[in-house]
A = this chain, B = another copy of it.
Amino acid sequence: MTENHETPDRALGRPRATTHDVLAEIGVELFTSRGYEHVSVQQIADAAGVSRRTFFRYFPTKADLPWGDFAREVERLRGELALVPDGVPLMEAVRHAVVEFNRVPPEAVDQHRARLGLILTEPELIARSQVKFLDWRGVIAEFTARRLDMEPTSFFPELVGEVALSAAVAAYRQWIPSSDTDLTTFIDTAFAALVDLDRLEQGVAAQLSTRLDPPAGPQENHDHRDNPGNAGEERQ
């Protein structure tokens, strides 16, 4: 879209005065400290030493700021899906891809948490998320469509895209305030619950929860493959 022109050929014309990343960083900083509504685009532009008009050449909307180069992220998700062998069952494949997609390097965790906190808290950003996630859902829908031999806009592909995003968002919401548990664990648990949805009654729910509330005795091995969800905690 607007992104990805950071270093195409670096040839001629007046040099750029800023970067998506710089603007995003300054913006998120101001938003978290003063609150989204109390920060004007003018202030962000000033802090970046750039005119207001130029800001809008980098980001189409003030609300796009915390998303950084999200188009690139969506491509990363597409890549994760492409890596999954054809033999893996549909939802297992989606689950694995989404989990891997949400693996963040330890040093970037705090910043990531801040961004997600903003995105899922501030009303105007919550609103914008629905639009930003359109492509995200689309990638899942495309993958599902290929698997089911259907059109990407038909019922089940769209449903799977929608549901996968639901699981991810619910996981984000729980992860944001909890500094102990790894994000991938939440994601993985969400998908596990998704697949067991029809058995989700008091007993089952409590059992699944034990994975999240830290150490309370011997965990029963809910074994999903090589257990991708439980990594990352001892990496600080």
What are the interface flags for A173-188 relative to B under an 8 Å C-beta threshold, 1 for contact and 0 otherwise?
1100000000000100
Contact B202 A149 (CB under 8 A): yes
Contact A200 B155 (CB under 8 A): no
Q: Which residues of B contact A200 (CB under 8 A)?
A: 90-91, 148, 156, 160
What are the interface flags for A100-136 relative to B under an 8 Å C-beta threshold, 1 for contact and 0 otherwise?
0000000000000000000000010011111100100
Contact B158 A89 (CB under 8 A): no
Please tell me which one of the listed residues B131, B149, B169, B195 contacts residue A197 in the complex, with CB atoms under 8 A apart.
B195
CB closest chain-B residue, reference A148: B205
Determine how many copies of this chain the complex contains: 2
Q: Which residues of B contact A201 (CB under 8 A)?
A: 89-90, 147-148
Q: Which residues of B contact A127 (CB under 8 A)?
A: 127-128, 130-131
The size of the chain A interface, using a CB distance under 8 A, is: 47
| Closest CB in chain B relative to A111 CB, distance in Å | 23
Name A residues whose Cβ lies closer than 8 Å to a Cβ of B.
89-91, 123, 126-131, 134, 147-150, 154-156, 158-160, 162-163, 165-167, 169-170, 173-174, 186, 189-190, 193-198, 200-202, 205-206, 208-209, 212
